[in-house]
Chains A and B, each alone.
Chain A
């Protein structure tokens, strides 16, 4: 290819501005299905009341074109960048930041971003190192996938890390995840998606836990050992009885997703990152010619 006639940075900015608002207003079909199934399955009276209200709320958000939840979160993006995509990640980052600001000012959305010490607002949902972007680089490809995951604070505050030792084994991992979700109670707006990161290092385990919550609900890890653990934890977590909004019931989590990395022989890190029932996400595929294909299901 000789020259790129289109303004790719503008295309990415426009896509980001659309994705942020779209994610906040219109939750994906797989999540709607999971919430409807949870409502039908729940037997506790307060739990069923919560799930009926949640389903009704999603319908009201649709009909009034309002946000599903008032917490516009911190904007987190995951980017899969093809090695032949002709816009440098530094420019992609600038575009995502500009898109986040535009969406916040134009809608308008509540701006949550503050300096972590002074607590003064730093901008329209942007600031130093905000938004947060996860990067993955893909060989022999010329496209860009962007996923926007607005992350609410109620669930983000329920994040936990434990450096288990190898002798703790897999049961140590299971115990820590169970204990974390019981301790969280109703605070992270259950039932949601429990994201677990295992292996790697302390920081990478938490990064992986965040990747896990951004997956379509109920998808399984490609590694059969990990997929088996996902299934087992999903079942165990729903036996705790914490229930919708922590008021007691059968449905404590909508699912459990795990991402893993190989690790040091003496490490066994486990990170838990919770995603609330309003597990918002929206994706776009951006081609080298600047065309954008929005994707509800990715």
Chain B
């Protein structure tokens, strides 16, 4: 299991293809915060997002912030459960060229094929570790769709964001799939002992 540092947004696909399920990754550069209502607006209501998502790293978040003047400052920024938003994986890759999705808890198997097809990676963050995550957000540079607060589109500049684990890589491998398969096999054995 290798260790990598990747800067987003990426322009070279090799940056994504080198990552393998189980690898450790630290992210630099810019990341985009997004959540349920943001993606419902883009895909179900057909509203074009006012930020460029090409090569982007998306974070499943609804940050706690405070407004100082006309800027938002982080209070506590953490990550939410990804599985609720899995159906947006295909269009995020196909229509917008998103390359990384980061959240907690993983994606079910239906994400594996779109991620392989569009060269995307699912990054697992440690859910609940928001105090640490907040220290890695250098600045909230842009906020769009403020009326969806806190489920707006957020642009964060980050430093040493992580550690993240590659949960699903762009080659069809998913740690979540493997863990579930092993656990179901184990359950049969445990049931026999009850």
Residue in B76, B77, B105, B178 whose beta carbon sits within 8 Å of that of A186 in the complex:
B105
Complex CA–CA separation, A277 to B150 (angstroms): 24
Pairwise interchain contact A154-B187, C-beta atoms closer than 8 A:
no
Q: Which chain B residues border A152 with CB–CB below 8 Å?
A: 128
With contacts A70-B63, A70-B76, A239-B190 taken as known, whether A186 is within 8 angstroms of B128 at the C-beta atoms is no
Pairwise interchain contact B76-A54, C-beta atoms closer than 8 A:
no
Chain A, interface size: which category? 35 or more
Pairwise interchain contact B131-A66, C-beta atoms closer than 8 A:
yes
Binding site of B, secondary structure by majority: helix, strand, loop or mixed?
mixed
With contacts A50-B126, A178-B190, A245-B104 taken as known, whether A64 is within 8 angstroms of B131 at the C-beta atoms is yes
Nearest residue (CB) in B for A67 is B76
Q: Which chain A residues border B186 with CB–CB below 8 Å?
A: 239-241
Answer yes or no: A57 CB below 8 A from chain B CBs: yes
Least distance between A234 CB and chain B CB atoms (Å): 13
Pairwise interchain contact A189-B127, C-beta atoms closer than 8 A:
yes
Answer yes or no: B180 CB below 8 A from chain A CBs: yes
Most chain B beta-carbon contacts within 10 A, residue among A45, A46, A68, A178: A46
Answer yes or no: A110 CB below 8 A from chain B CBs: yes
Answer yes or no: B194 CB below 8 A from chain A CBs: yes
Complex CA–CA separation, A155 to B149 (angstroms): 23
Q: Which chain B residues border A245 with CB–CB below 8 Å?
A: 104-105, 124, 126-127, 165
With contacts A45-B1, A49-B165, A247-B179 taken as known, whether A110 is within 8 angstroms of B124 at the C-beta atoms is no
Q: Which chain A residues border B106 with CB–CB below 8 Å?
A: 185-187, 246-247
Pairwise interchain contact A186-B104, C-beta atoms closer than 8 A:
yes
Pairwise interchain contact B128-A57, C-beta atoms closer than 8 A:
yes
Contact residues, B121-167 vs A (CB, 8 A): 124, 126-135, 150, 163, 165, 167
Least distance between A68 CB and chain B CB atoms (Å): 6
Pairwise interchain contact A182-B105, C-beta atoms closer than 8 A:
no
With contacts A66-B134, A67-B130 taken as known, whether A185 is within 8 angstroms of B76 at the C-beta atoms is no
Contact residues, B40-68 vs A (CB, 8 A): 61-64, 66
Complex CA–CA separation, A185 to B128 (angstroms): 15
Answer yes or no: B22 CB below 8 A from chain A CBs: yes
Pairwise interchain contact B104-A189, C-beta atoms closer than 8 A:
yes
Pairwise interchain contact A247-B131, C-beta atoms closer than 8 A:
no
Answer yes or no: B175 CB below 8 A from chain A CBs: yes
Complex CA–CA separation, A182 to B131 (angstroms): 28
Q: Which chain A residues border B66 with CB–CB below 8 Å?
A: 108
Pairwise interchain contact A68-B128, C-beta atoms closer than 8 A:
yes
Q: Which chain B residues border A60 with CB–CB below 8 Å?
A: 131-132, 135
Which B residues contact A (CB, under 8 angstroms)? 1, 22, 24, 61-64, 66, 75-81, 83, 104-106, 124, 126-135, 150, 163, 165, 167, 175-176, 178-180, 182-184, 186-187, 190-191, 194
